[in-house]
Amino acid sequence: MDENQNILTEHTQPASLRNILNVLFKRKRVILTFFITIVVLVTVGSFIMPKIYQAESKLLIEKEMDSDKALLFNMNLSQGLNNYDFINSEIEILTSYPIASRVVEDFSSRLIENEQTLSDEEKNRVFEETVISFRKKIEIENPKSSTILVIRYENKDPVLASDIVNYFVDTYINFRSEISAESDNYKFLEEQMNLADQKLRGLEQSQADFKEQKDVGTPETQRNVLMNRMTEYEKSLTDVQTKRIGKEAKLEVFKSRLESGSMASIPSTESSDSPSRVDYIAKLRGQLLDMEIRREQLLQKFTPQYKEVIDLENQIATTRLKIEKEIEQIIEMEETAVRALRAEEQILNRQIEKIKKEIRNLAQKEYQYNQISRGIEDEREIYSMLLKQREEARLSLAKLEKGVKINRISPAIVPTEPVKPKKMLNIILAIFLGLFGGLGLAFFIEYFDHTISTPEELEKYVGIDALGSIPEIKIDASINGRGVQARRIFE
């Protein structure tokens, strides 16, 4: 019992340096295999992984306390944004949903794959998922104790990454202007401009209603419109008459050739189905000619009562009947087209007469039109003046932007070098991981390996002194011209 305890105590004692070296030498293949495998896998993975590019833009955010402009526009600047606390507010605005949704909406064709093939419900779902993913990918960094914001975005496409960062900054600036507070002066100008706009729109609507009821614009404009319309109608009438006369002439040629039976060539027509019908007739004539030639050849060998000759005669008669029907349909179509052109001529003539009557009555409407138009120019001048003043107030307010001034230090440029994967760093980490992992794996295997490989281990487990050891002997025999040589290989 005591001997077993001594053996167990000796087995559980810390390994000496010699034992550690023995384990490393013994498990060198495991260590080397694990090391090479990890390094090769990480190296290959680093080279086959897709390249990720990062674009960044830097903004300088400054508090701007312009007391003169604030007094001019009667603005109350916020006093709660002290030191660098206001930077947190700007970061919250940058990471807000409205900005992300606007960017994703404008870049949806490049951020969402196969967008055109998705249904409306799928588009909404994918859009929301893309917005959430974009808000996670966009990186906003604020260096300590500074008013600089660094905006970064990563993507496989370097051009897309830079475009999104620049557009993101523009969207942030525009969105910030929208949520900035308004001054009392700006609100007053906005209200007065809305009143002037409503009054002006009322006058313009009255004028538009009169134009619609009386079918009149300004006297000069209406006169020019009527003259232009009459010129167009007269031109259209001339074109229709020319077309009708041409169709009637072609129709006469059709009828005369049909009556005389000489339809060797058919004039071209402008009817929608006529070209195809003419081609079909030409095809039938070709078939008819072939059948007539074949019939003549058969009559040279057989009598007219021969069955094949009779069948051929029937086919020839059927084909001629088809040709006559097609020609009759073409004639019917052309006659219909001629009647339609005549009806169009009548309509155009009535329109021309109506325009002439309107031109004669135009002088009577000028007085009523001038009465309704009085005062519109004055209201437009007032509206323009208010609009100019409001825009000046808006520009000043946008520049002030709630006491914060935004300067773009550096816009995003197209990156030329990828940020991921970091090949050298990955390889260095793989070397350390392979080395320490291999060592750990070797000691792990050794800990669970209970085989006896040395006399010392045998003495520890058995408790009996080892008398000696016999090395393994391998005999490698080779025969040559001088005899048999044997050599011992000891391991």
Q: What amino acid is encoded at 88 in this protein?
A: N
Position 17 confidence tier, pLDDT thresholds 50, 70, 90: confident
Q: Which residue has the higher pLDDT, 470 or 125?
A: 125
Model pLDDT, residue 103 = 92
With tokens 């609100």, the residue in question is: 187
CA angle 360, 361, 362 (to 5 degrees): 95
Structure token pair of residue 235: 């031109």
Round to whole Å and give the CA distance between 447 and 444: 5
Instruction: Decide: 412 and 161 in contact? Cβ < 8 Å.
Output: yes
Please give the single-letter amino acid code of residue 470.
I
> Hey, what domains does the chain have and what are their CATH numbers?
2-49+421-490 (no CATH), 219-374 (1.10.287)
Tokens of 429: 């980490």
Residue 80 has pLDDT above 70, yes or no: no
Q: What is the pLDDT of residues 32-65, one digit of tens each?
A: 998 899 889 988 888 888 888 889 999 988 876 5
For the stretch 91-107, pLDDT in tens is: 888 888 999 999 999 98
Residue 50, CA distances (Å) to 47, 154, 156, 163, 420 in order: 8, 12, 7, 20, 8
What is the C-alpha separation between 375 and 352, in angstroms, rounded?
Answer: 36
Residue 385 region by backbone torsions, left for phi larger than 0, else alpha for psi between -120 and 50, else beta:
alpha
CA-nearest of 134, 13, 31, 29 to 434 is 31
Judged against a pLDDT cut of 70, whether residue 186 lies above it is answered with no
DSSP states of 73-119: TT----S---TTHHHHHHHHHHTSHHHHHHHHHHTHHHHSTTGGGS-
Q: Over the chain, what is the mean pLDDT? A: 75
Q: Whole-angstrom Cα distance, residue 381 to residue 386?
A: 9
pLDDT, residue 491, reads 38
Residues 458 and 452 sit within 8 Å (Cβ to Cβ):
yes
423-448 and 17-26 are packed helices; what angle lies between their axes, rounded to 10 degrees? 110
Is 265:271 a contact under the CB 8 Å cutoff?
A: no
* 468: three-class secondary structure by DSSP: coil
- pLDDT tier at 312, thresholds 50, 70, 90: confident
pTM over 0.75: no
Contact 254, 267 (CB under 8 A): yes
Q: What is the pLDDT of residue 279?
A: 74
Alpha-carbon gap, residue 93 to 97, rounded angstroms: 9
Examine the pLDDT at 11 and tell me if it is beyond 60: no
- Which of 196-205, 336-345, 429-438 ranks highest by mean pLDDT? 429-438
What is the structure's pLDDT at 270?
45
Please provide residue 480's backbone torsions phi and psi, each rounded to the nearest 5 degrees: -130, -170
Instruction: Among 270-284, 302-316, 472-486, name the most confident range.
Output: 302-316
Indicate whether 68 pLDDT > 50. Answer: no
Cβ pair 389, 189 in contact under 8 A: yes
d(CA 327, CA 281): 8
pLDDT reported for residue 277: 66
